[in-house]
Amino acid sequence: MYEVEVKVPADHGDVRDALESAGAERGETVEQVDTYYDAPHRDFAETDEALRVRRVTDDEGERARITYKGPKVDSESKAREEVETGVEDGADAGAIFEGVGFTPAATVEKTRTYYAYDGYTVVLDDVSGLGQFVEVERESEDVEAAREGAFDVLRRLGLDPSDQIRASYLGLLLE
Amino acid sequence: MYEVEVKVPADHGDVRDALESAGAERGETVEQVDTYYDAPHRDFAETDEALRVRRVTDDEGERARITYKGPKVDSESKAREEVETGVEDGADAGAIFEGVGFTPAATVEKTRTYYAYDGYTVVLDDVSGLGQFVEVERESEDVEAAREGAFDVLRRLGLDPSDQIRASYLGLLLE
């Protein structure tokens, strides 16, 4: 299974209206604060790796996860090793990484609202310092068909797939 | 508050009998597997630091914690920075540390049985590759008095405080 994800910058007002007229099912809204760490012994930007502490706040309180993303295995599929686990306390997890020599490099803060629409997850992201984005994503074995379907969802929401941005929010913030 | 802890090597059979005759309250028995990691950029043995993933199995299943121990702040009190947090999955936490460049250096496996006795916690440790030990510990503001009290508990259990071993199980295993 591959995660197919298409992201465009877009004001949320019209998209929200379009989603609601189309009968999309609104899910939860969460706050996500991602802290990315630099390693003391190699340059993660160069090795294409990432170490992240994600703190998510929703109606039920705060929970946190730590994630390691390894370099892409091959350029075609964009597949990469990814390991993550929940942690009791995100601040303590960060302090442990700092204790052993890592340094916080960048923080990405966003408010995400999820919608379920026609087999896709549509995510309305409001990212501090970057603005509003819409992501359309699903898991699929057939990457091409899923991407075409995501483009179609964007069009039905009044958006233009050719506005697609491939950079991560972290990448955009560091630009 | 200081953690005062005295440890001696001792067969558990007689100690268990002595604890039961003395009316000590038996607590839980757990399996602990501690994996210590080497850093890629500095020698933790030299800097007196440690990074550990502890996996504890008891009647309720497995749980895990990650812990960073910083160097001793001063030699007198043995105080050191210690940060820890629970993790959902100990194996994944280890894989994250390995992903970012740490290597498993040593594993300490033990079965611990806890007793409460006269204000102290008495721990019967059976350590793979090292044998059986008895630890007597408590938290106290008065380190000297607590240590004398722990020696007294050992004597009442038929043990000799002068057998005390100050090295950690990790230290003993690496010797």
Task: Tell me the average pLDDT across A6-33.
Answer: 96
Q: According to the model, what pLDDT value does residue A2 have?
A: 78
- pLDDT band, residue A1 (cuts 50/70/90): confident
A-chain residues near B66 (CB < 8 A): 87, 93, 96
Q: Confirm or reject contact between A84 and chain B (CB < 8 A).
A: yes
Nearest to A100 among B68, B84, B95 (CB): B68
Instruction: Number of helices (H) and strands (E) in chain B: give both, helices first.
Output: 5, 8
Residue of B nearest to A67 (CA): B96
- Given CB atoms, is B46 within the 8 Å cutoff of chain A? no
CATH superfamily, domain at A2-174:
Hypothetical Protein Pfu-838710-001 (2.40.320.10)
**Amino acid identity, residue B145?**
A
Instruction: Please give the Cα distance from A121 to A141 (Å, whole number).
Output: 16
B82 touches chain A (CB under 8 A): no
Q: What is the ipTM of this complex?
A: 0.83
Q: Which of B67, B81, B95 sits opposite A83 (nearest CB)?
A: B95
Model confidence pLDDT, tens digit, residues A102-157: 999 999 999 999 999 999 999 999 999 999 999 999 988 888 999 999 999 999 99
Query: Is the alpha carbon torsion for B18, B23, B24, B27 positive or negative?
Result: positive
Query: And the tokens for B42?
Result: 């500095």
Q: Is B35 exposed, middle or buried (0-12, 13-18, 19+ CB in 10 A)?
A: buried
Average pLDDT over residues A80-99: 95
Which residue among A51, A93, A101 places its CB closest to the CB of B85?
A93
pLDDT at B84 > cutoff 90: yes
**pLDDT band per the 50, 70, 90 thresholds, residue B78:** low
pLDDT of A72 reads 77
Distance between CA atoms of residues A17 and A14, nearest Å:
5
Percent of chain A at pLDDT above 70?
96
Give the C-alpha separation, B89 to A79, whole Å.
Answer: 23
Q: Please indicate whether, in this complex, the C-beta atoms of A100 and B102 are within 8 angstroms of each other.
A: yes
% of chain B surpassing 90 pLDDT: 81
Q: What is the rounded distance in angstroms from the CA atom of residue A114 to the CA atom of residue A6?
A: 15
Token pair 């179609």 is at which residue? A152
The residues of B that are catalytic are 36
What confidence tens digit (pLDDT) does each residue in B15-68 have? 999 999 999 999 999 999 999 999 999 999 899 899 999 999 998 999 999 999
Q: What is the pLDDT of residue A71?
A: 87
All residues of chain A having their beta carbon less than 8 Å from the beta carbon of residue B87 are 66, 85-88
**Short-list A141, A66, A122, CA closest to B90:** A66
Task: Give CA–CA dist A144/B23, Å, rounded.
Answer: 71
Mean pLDDT of B166-173: 90
Tell me whether residues A92 and B84 touch, CB distance under 8 A: yes
* B13 interfaces chain A, CB cutoff of 8 Å: no
Angle at B68 between CA B66 and CA B74, to 5 degrees: 150
Q: Where are the domains of chain B?
A: 2-174
Confidence of residue A175 (pLDDT cuts 50, 70, 90): confident
Q: Give pLDDT, residue B79.
A: 67
Residue B75 sits at the chain A interface (C-beta within 8 Å): no
Residue B12: predicted pLDDT: 97
User: What is the pTM assigned to this prediction?
Assistant: 0.84
B36 token code pair: 């210590």
**Rounded distance, CA A86 to CA A88, Å?**
7
pLDDT at B3: 82
| Contact yes or no for A87 and B84 at CB 8 A | no
The pLDDT, as a whole number, for residue B175 is 83
* Region of poorest pLDDT, from A61-75, A81-95, B108-122, B154-168: A61-75
Exposed e or buried b for every residue in A109-135, given b needs 16+ CB within 10 A? Answer: bbbbbbbebeebbbbbbbbeebebbbb
A139's tokens: 């898991």
d(Cα B143, Cα B161) in Å, to the nearest integer? 16
